[in-house]
């Protein structure tokens, strides 16, 4: 029974009954989620529910978020600027009074490093992916999307008016079949992929995607959310490391992972930037990022350009962990800094996460619907501030606590 403010009792509404049943079902299937009590982060460690644990679940791939010297320098600059420094709020959209000059500095810096005509900064990667496709695509277009693309890309496709098809993950023969079937039937065909897939940690075949783009006159969008900072001499992503920066129509990157800030960006030709400024709803109808966040993004972006040693160390750690776990008999897909260990049943993944927590490791289970049924896993997100000894200890613990 529910008691109102006037003391009257009322039965639960049907929607409440359904929600309560669904929550109980999630609990019984080990899929119930709660917001964790996260405390202070200290270097490669994090405090969770009062315990100091080795942090293996952060996307801060370069460790910039834990760089006290960098943060101290930034805060000192803010203090020294007095009231003339960047504000902590923008209070309006970029098209009103929220377009602080730091936006221009950041977008210019990004475009320069990518060798692109222009760049555009957004509030988040989710805003980018749910805004770009709906703005560019019409009902006369077709979107072809890798089946394992991030949920934000899927949501953007669903909002867009265009038809869409999802090709089998990394199956570019299937993609080519769809491209051939679409020939002459649409105004434009858009191909959308990630460069580093966030759940399996594998890399997209960007070279062949570029070949297919040119052969079929398609428009290619690559989401480098998990690639920027990690790949490329300047950390511009897998597109840079493969020498394909000029072959991708739109490259999307994020500040919220390796760049240890907030927001996202896209690099593109000036025509597309101009059009998005005029039509992209998630840009037009949202309050701009606080200038202080934009300034911090500019600082971390510039800092990571020279972190080649950290990038190599991160790749070496990833290879070490994969090799150790595979030798021990674990199923470990992918070949990036994201190292998933597929355990199958939800209970197995939850149980292993609890066992690792007892041993001092913070690694969270990933369960359906985020991943397919019977492929629940632990997902280790490695960072450049981890040590080789950390990897050895993790492998030893995984083997000893194997379910």
Catalytic residue annotation: 59, 150, 194, 198, 223, 226, 257
Residue 329: phi and psi, rounded to 5, are 100, 10
CA 244 to chain centre: 21
Structure tokens at 294: 């934009």
Q: Which of 54, 46, 43, 63 is nearest to 390 (CA)?
A: 54
In angstroms, rounded to a whole number, what is the distance separating the alpha carbons of residues 149 and 275?
25
Side-chain-side CA neighbours of 314 within 13 Å: the count stands at 29
Structure tokens at 268: 């593109």
The answer to whether 398 and 330 have CB atoms below 8 angstroms apart is: yes
Q: Which of 359, 324, 354 is nearest to 339 (CA)?
A: 324
Q: Which of 276, 273, 252 is nearest to 264 (CA)?
A: 252
The answer to whether 90 and 97 have CB atoms below 8 angstroms apart is: yes
Please compute Rg for the chain using Cα positions: 23
In angstroms, rounded to a whole number, what is the distance separating the alpha carbons of residues 261 and 143?
30
In angstroms, rounded to a whole number, what is the distance separating the alpha carbons of residues 193 and 197?
9
Side-chain-side CA neighbours of 312 within 13 Å: the count stands at 5
């Amino acid at each position: 029974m529910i008691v109102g403010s006037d003391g009257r009792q009322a039965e639960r509404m049907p929607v409440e009954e359904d929600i309560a049943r669904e929550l109980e079902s999630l609990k019984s299937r080990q899929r119930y989620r709660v917001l964790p009590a996260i405390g202070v982060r200290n270097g490669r460690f994090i405090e969770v529910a009062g315990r100091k644990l080795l942090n293996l679940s952060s996307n801060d791939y370069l460790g910039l978020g834990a760089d006290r010297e960098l943060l101290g320098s930034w805060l000192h600059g803010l203090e020294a600027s007095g009231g003339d420094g960047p504000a902590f709020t923008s209070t309006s959209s970029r098209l009103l009074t929220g377009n602080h000059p730091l936006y221009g500095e950041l977008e210019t810096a990004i475009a320069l490093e990518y060798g692109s005509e222009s760049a555009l900064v957004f509030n988040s990667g989710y805003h980018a992916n749910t805004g770009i496709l709906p703005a560019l695509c019409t009902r006369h277009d077709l979107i072809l999307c890798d089946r394992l693309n991030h949920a934000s890309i899927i949501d953007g496709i669903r909002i867009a008016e265009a038809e869409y098809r999802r090709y089998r993950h990394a199956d570019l023969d299937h993609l080519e079949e769809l491209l051939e079937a679409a020939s002459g039937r649409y105004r434009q065909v858009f191909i959308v992929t990630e460069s580093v897939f966030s759940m399996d940690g594998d890399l997209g075949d960007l070279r062949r995607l570029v070949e297919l783009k040119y052969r079929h006159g398609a428009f290619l969008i690559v989401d480098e959310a998990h690639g920027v900072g990690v790949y490329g001499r300047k950390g511009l992503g897998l597109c840079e490391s493969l020498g394909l920066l000029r072959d991708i129509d739109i490259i999307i990157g994020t500040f919220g992972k390796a760049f240890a800030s907030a927001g996202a960006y896209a690099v593109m030709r000036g025509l597309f930037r101009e059009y998005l400024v005029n039509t992209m709803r998630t840009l037009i109808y949202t309050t701009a990022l606080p200038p202080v966040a934009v300034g911090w993004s500019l600082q971390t972006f510039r800092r990571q350009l020279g972190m080649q040693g950290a990038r190599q160390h991160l790749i070496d750690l990833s290879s070490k962990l994969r090799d150790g776990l595979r030798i021990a008999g674990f199923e470990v897909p992918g070949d990036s800094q994201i190292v998933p260990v597929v355990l199958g049943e939800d209970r197995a993944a939850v149980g292993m996460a609890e066992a690792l927590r007892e041993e001092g490791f913070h690694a969270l289970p990933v369960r359906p619907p985020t991943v397919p049924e019977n492929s629940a896993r632990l997902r280790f997100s490695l960072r450049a501030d981890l040590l080789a000894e950390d990897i050895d200890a993790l492998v030893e613990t995984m083997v000893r606590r194997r379910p």
